[in-house]
Amino acid sequence: MKLKAQEVADLVGGIVDGDKKSTITKLSKIENGESKSLSFLGNPKYNEYVYKSKASIIIVDKGFKLKHPIKSTLIRVDNPKIAFSVLLDHFNGENLSKNGIDSSSSLDSSVKYGSTLYLGKFSIVEKDVKIGENVKIHPQVYVGESVEIGDNCIIYPGVKIYRNTKIGKNCIIHSSSVIGSDGFGFNFDSKGNTLKVNHNGNVIIEDDVEIGANCTVDRATLGSTLIKSGAKLDNLVQIAHNVIIGKNTCLAAQVGVAGSTIIGDNCLIGGQAGIAGHLKIGDRVQMQAKSGVLKNIKSDSVIMGYPAINYMDYNKSYVHFKNLPSVMKFIYKLMKKDVK
């Protein structure tokens, strides 16, 4: 793809500062920008690279001031990060233009789908499935009975979607994730043997949700496991049966949420955090990485540790914890003096 500076500016709503005819054919990081590439400056600590970069075009904040002249053309915007995201989408669009149903795939005759469906090699779509417009289902995907997939969704290779799952519009599910698998539920008989609890519910994923690679979202025992609109799941996230994830909540890699827990809107959950079952997490809660949550959390809380406590309290406690060896050494000395 080849774009001139003015074309880039038009795409991102920016102003060209330099050669309007300067052209780019690719994107690059500002640290190693090359000729004919476009970079962006989104963090002041990288300011020095503006003067070293060989990138033909660099996106910067409107208020950015140069200390001395540079060869690169600048495009000044309100928010460089958002502008660069727009360009990433634009460049990625070429990879999302596939259409047609591959002859090696299996599409049941009862399936209803839009005219622009892409169904890749060796994918299987079972009976009574409904698929919206402009849906891209990549190779080796399995879509079970009575699944619904909304407009503009992208399902990457190897995804498995179990029966009765409902997926809204503009969703992205990355490779090898499993949606609608059985929840982890067992009872014990009189002899202590485990008895499987069959899960007859489903999974509902609302609009604009993105699910990373190798995630699992279990279907409900009864009712629905629900991921609300705008939520984002990183890779390797486990969502158990009957969990509710609120709007625009983001879960980093390796987060695990146990059954029937409700997480509010606009929460930020750090990597490897573990959340016990049957809890209620309020809105706008921030959990630091590796937190272990064993009780309900109020809205607007910031927590850390295992078991998780207030973030500031944890930091204060840690100061004492790391000094504990020297404190105990002092105590032992006092004890010895008392014995004498």
Write out pLDDT tens, residues 282-322.
999 999 999 999 999 999 999 999 999 898 898 888 888 88
Tell me if 213 is assigned to some domain.
Answer: no
Q: Is 199 a catalytic residue?
A: no
- Whether residues 17 and 88 fall in one domain: yes
pLDDT > 70? residue 105: yes
> pLDDT grade, residue 149 (50/70/90)?
very high
| C-alpha torsion sign, points 291, 292, 298, 304 | negative
pLDDT > 70? residue 212: yes
- Whether residues 38 and 21 fall in one domain: yes
Tell me if 77 is assigned to some domain.
Answer: yes
Tell me if 42 is assigned to some domain.
Answer: yes
| Sheet hosting strand 232-233, strand order edge to edge | 100-101, 118-119, 136-137, 154-155, 172-173, 210-211, 232-233, 250-251, 268-269, 286-287, 302-304, 309-310
> pLDDT grade, residue 340 (50/70/90)?
very low
Catalytic residue among 138, 241, 278, 320: 241
Choose one of 112, 142, 158: the last residue of a domain. Answer: 158
Beta-carbon-side half-sphere exposure of residue 316 (alpha carbons within 13 Å): 6
Tell me if 142 is assigned to some domain.
Answer: yes
- Whether residues 89 and 137 fall in one domain: no
What pLDDT score does 32 carry? 85
- Whether residues 8 and 85 fall in one domain: yes
- The alpha carbon of 255 is separated from its chain's Cα centroid by a whole number of angstroms, namely 11
Q: Give the pLDDT confidence of 111-123 residue by residue, as tens digits.
A: 999 989 999 999 9
* Distance between CA atoms of residues 163 and 126, nearest Å: 9
- Whether residues 37 and 110 fall in one domain: no
- Whether residues 104 and 68 fall in one domain: no
Residue 123, domain CATH: 2.160.10.10
- Whether residues 103 and 150 fall in one domain: yes
Q: What is the mean pLDDT of residues 93-122?
A: 89
- Residue 124 contacts residue 144 (beta carbons within 8 Å): no
Q: What is the mean pLDDT of residues 162-176?
A: 98
Tell me if 69 is assigned to some domain.
Answer: yes
> pLDDT grade, residue 1 (50/70/90)?
confident
Q: Which domain holds residue 127?
A: 99-158
- Whether residues 91 and 118 fall in one domain: no
Tell me if 49 is assigned to some domain.
Answer: yes
The DSSP string of 265-310 is: TT-EE-TT-EE-SS-EE-TT-EE-TT-EE-S-B-TT-EEETTTTEE
Tell me if 305 is assigned to some domain.
Answer: no
What pLDDT score does 95 carry? 56
> Could you check whether the bond before residue 80 is cis, i.e. omega within 30 degrees of 0?
no
Neighbours of 328 (CB within 10 A): 10
- Whether residues 104 and 90 fall in one domain: no
- Whether residues 23 and 88 fall in one domain: yes
Residue 45, domain CATH: 3.40.1390.10
Tell me if 120 is assigned to some domain.
Answer: yes
- Whether residues 44 and 125 fall in one domain: no
* Number of domains composing the chain: 2
Q: What is the mean pLDDT of residues 53-80?
A: 93
Q: What is the mean pLDDT of residues 198-216?
A: 97
- Whether residues 87 and 103 fall in one domain: no
